[in-house]
Structure 1
Amino acid sequence: MSGHPRISVIIPHLNEPDDLRRCLLALGAQRAHGIAFEIIVVDNGSRQMPSFAATLVPGVRLTREAIPGPGPARNLGATLAEAPLLAFIDADCVAAPDWLAAIVACFEKNRGIDFAGGDIRIQPADPERLTSIEAYEAIYSYRTQLYVEQYGFAATGNMAVRAEVFRSIGPFGGIGTMEDTEWGQRATALGCQIAYLPDARVYTPSCRSFTELARRWDRHIAHEFGEIRGRRFWLARWLGKSALMAASPLGETIRILRTDRVDTWRERALALGCLTRIRLYRATRMLELARHANTTGLIDLWNRENR
Structure 2
Amino acid sequence: MGDERKMTIASEQRPLLSVVVPCFRAMGTLPALLESLELQTIGRDNFEIIIVDDGSDDGTCDYLAAQPAIRLVRQERRGPGEARNVGFAMAAAELVLYLDADLVASPSLLEAHLLHHRQNPHLAATGGSVAPARSYPLLSWGLVDHLCSWFNAYPDFDHGGEPEYLPSLNFCVKKGDLLAVGGIAWQDGLTVTGEDVVFCYALHRAGLAIAFVPEAVVYHRDRETMAGYLRHMFRWGEHAPSVRGTYRDLKYSFLFPPSRGRLLVTIPVIVLGYTWFLWYSWAKVRPLAVTLALPQIFLGRLAYAWGVWQGMVLASRGAGSSRLITEIDRG
Deviation (angstroms), 1:148: 9.9
Residue in structure 2 matched with residue 208 of structure 1 by the alignment: 224
Deviations 1:209-238 (A, max 9, x none): 222222222332222224548x97622331
The 1-side partners of 2:270 and 2:44 are apart by: 48
**Equivalence for 2:167:** 155
Letter in 1 for 2:140: S
What is the distance in 2 between the residues matched to 1:74 and 1:246? 32
Quick one: distance in 1 between partners of 2:232 and 2:282? Answer: 25
Q: Does 1:170 align with 2:184?
A: yes
Contact residue 8 and residue 81 of structure 1 kept, 8 A: yes
How far apart are 1:182 and its partner, in Å? 1.1
SS in 2 for 1:103: helix
Following superposition of structure 1 onto structure 2, how do residues 178-257 of structure 1 map, counting pairs within 5 Å? 178-226=194-242, 228=245, 234-248=259-273, 251=276, 255=280
| SS of 2:61 mapped into structure 1 | coil
Map residues 286-301 of structure 1 onto 2, 5 A cutoff: 286-287=308-309
Q: In structure 2, what is the equivalent of residue 282 of structure 1? A: 304
Alignment pair present for 1:108 and 2:122: no
Q: Specify the alignment match of 1:6 in structure 2.
A: 16
Task: Give unpaired runs (5+ residues) of structure 2.
Answer: 1-9, 247-255, 322-331
1:156 and 1:257, CA in 2 relative to 1: closer, same or farther beyond 3 A?
closer
Alpha-carbon separation, structure 2, partners of 1:94 and 1:253? 25
Structure-1 separation of matches of 2:209 and 2:282: 34
Q: Distance in 2 between matches of 1:162 and 1:207?
A: 31
1:140 to 137, 142, 148: 148
- The aligned counterpart of 2:62 is 51
Alpha-carbon distance between aligned partners in 2 of 1:140 and 1:23, rounded to the nearest angstrom: 23
Judge conservation of contact 1:88–1:158 (CA < 8 Å) in 2: yes
- The alpha-carbon deviation at position 147 of structure 1 amounts to 8.5
1:95 maps to a residue whose letter is A
Normalised by the size of structure 1, how large is the TM-score?
A: 0.82
- Of residues 278-287 and 192-201 in structure 1, the stretch that sits farther from structure 2 once superposed is 278-287
CA contact (8 A) 1:42 1:62 kept: yes
**Structure 2 match to 1:260:** 285
2:233/2:301 contact within 8 Å kept:
no
- Runs (5+) with no aligned partner, structure 1: 300-307
**Could you tell me how far 1:282 is from its partner in structure 2?**
2.4
Aligned counterpart, 2:252:
none
What is the CA–CA distance in structure 2 between the aligned matches of 1:294 and 1:23, rounded to whole Å? 40
In the alignment, the residues of structure 1 paired with residue 113 and residue 235 of structure 2 have an alpha-carbon distance, to the nearest angstrom, of 29
8 Å Cα contact 1:148-1:196 kept in structure 2: no
Alignment equivalent of 2:104, drawn from 94, 105, 119? 94
SS at structure 2 position matched to 1:165 = helix
What code does the residue aligned with 2:184 have? G
Structure-1 separation of matches of 2:232 and 2:317: 14
Instruction: Indicate if the aligned counterparts of 2:279 and 2:290 stay in contact, CA closer than 8 A.
Output: no
Which residue of the partner structure matches residue 83 of structure 1?
Answer: 93
Deviations 1:70-101 (A, max 9, x none): 00011111111111110000000111110001
CA-CA distance at 1:295 after TM superposition: 8.1
* Length-normalised TM-score, structure 2: 0.76
Amino acid of the structure 2 residue aligned with 1:28 = E
Where has structure 1 moved over 6 Å in runs of 4 or more? Answer: 145-148, 291-299
Number of equivalenced pairs: 292
